Structure 1
Amino acid sequence: MTTTKKEITEPIHSTPNDSNTYHFLDEKVTILVSGEDTNGKYAVLNSVKPAKQGPPLHRHEIEEETFLVKRGQMTFYVDDKVIEAKEGDVVVAPRGSKHTFITGPEGAEFNIIARPAGFDGFVKALGTLVPANAPLPQVGPPTEEQIIGLVNASKPFGITYPEIEKAMSEKQ
């Protein structure tokens, strides 16, 4: 069987709308360019995240992530490096690197370019579709059950949480 891959031959233009915007954990994420648009080559997402928040330390086995800070400040931890980023800065977390970030005191807005695509599918699978003008989700600290659910839901997308998974295995 021969598979034909679609090449990008036309410009792509996208804006936030009610069919590409999600509440995803504590963020509002808009999938501006999906893997379906690029034949899986990359995805572009816009994220708005509240103050002093960030994901657990994690690793993407499939994607490299490029972050472009649009508003606010963020502190990135990529393997053994600490990177203070401000508006206009770009930070790249290579595929396989252990990384996380914390937003500054005003929160942050940033773009994520995931290459190859796949992270967009993760957002669609775990997120809840919301109107483009929706405020940030109101969530509290995650429960142990929610953390376990996140770890398990992440596996099909090649995302792992080394410290959480180690703690979980030690509890068994």
Structure 2
Amino acid sequence: MPRTPFAVSLHDAPAFWTLGELLTLIATAEQTGGAFSLVEELLPRGAEPPPHVHHREDESFFVLDGELTVRVGDAVFRAERGSFVFCPRDVPHLLTVHSDTVRMLTLCTPGGLESFFVELGRPAPDRTVPVDEPGPDAERVATLAGHYGAEVLTAWP
């Protein structure tokens, strides 16, 4: 994929409701020649993803607001505003939100995982946390995750 310069305003970037959270696509694999993707997430307490592992990309979180715990393999990190957490590929991780919401930047290297969220979600025109979002179809989530090189775990390993 060719790389060309680009710029985007957070307010103009595409936004999606996926699995109970708001995701705004700041930079996609398509835009970065596959190098990375960068997504802003607004994640409410209770909408955390289940334990999972990525086999194609490393995932990193930079917390802009709120507080959460990130368990990565045997390590546990308390992350609050200004914290950065790196989750290497092939290592299971789990997020637990402690504040009402967490706003964070999620960097995936290389990019491509953002397509999972787009395919699973729906456009979010008002850019708020979705209200009364129907629960996810666990089988569809697991199947689609597998297509994108991720694995949803039924329990912590």
Q: TM-score, normalised by structure 2?
A: 0.90
Deviations 1:18-40 (A, max 9, x none): x6100011100000001111011
Match of 2:94 in 1: 100
Match of 1:44 in 2: 38
Q: Is the 8 A contact 1:65 1:113 kept in 2?
A: yes
Match of 1:136 in 2: 129
Match of 1:73 among 67, 72, 91: 67
Match of 1:158 in 2: 149
Match of 1:91 in 2: 85
Residue identity (%): 23
Q: CA distance change for structure 1 residues 34 and 56 in 2, over 3 Å: closer, same or farther?
A: same
Aligned residues: 156
Gaps of 5+ in 1: 167-172
Counterpart code for 1:7: R
Q: Is the 8 A contact 1:16 1:32 kept in 2?
A: no
Q: Secondary structure at the match of 1:122?
A: helix
CA RMSD, aligned part only?
2.0
Q: Secondary structure at the match of 1:47?
A: strand
- Distance in 1 (alpha carbons) for counterparts of 2:134 and 2:44: 13
Gaps of 5+ in 2: none
- Distance in 1 (alpha carbons) for counterparts of 2:27 and 2:61: 15
Which structure has more helix as a fraction of its residues? 1
Q: CA distance change for structure 1 residues 125 and 135 in 2, over 3 Å: closer, same or farther?
A: same
Counterpart code for 2:7: I
Q: Is the 8 A contact 1:52 1:105 kept in 2?
A: no
Q: TM-score, normalised by structure 1?
A: 0.83
Question: How much has 1:89 moved relative to structure 2?
Answer: 0.4
> Radius of gyration: which is bigger?
1
Q: Aligned ranges for residues 106-117 of structure 1 at < 5 Å?
A: 106-117=100-111
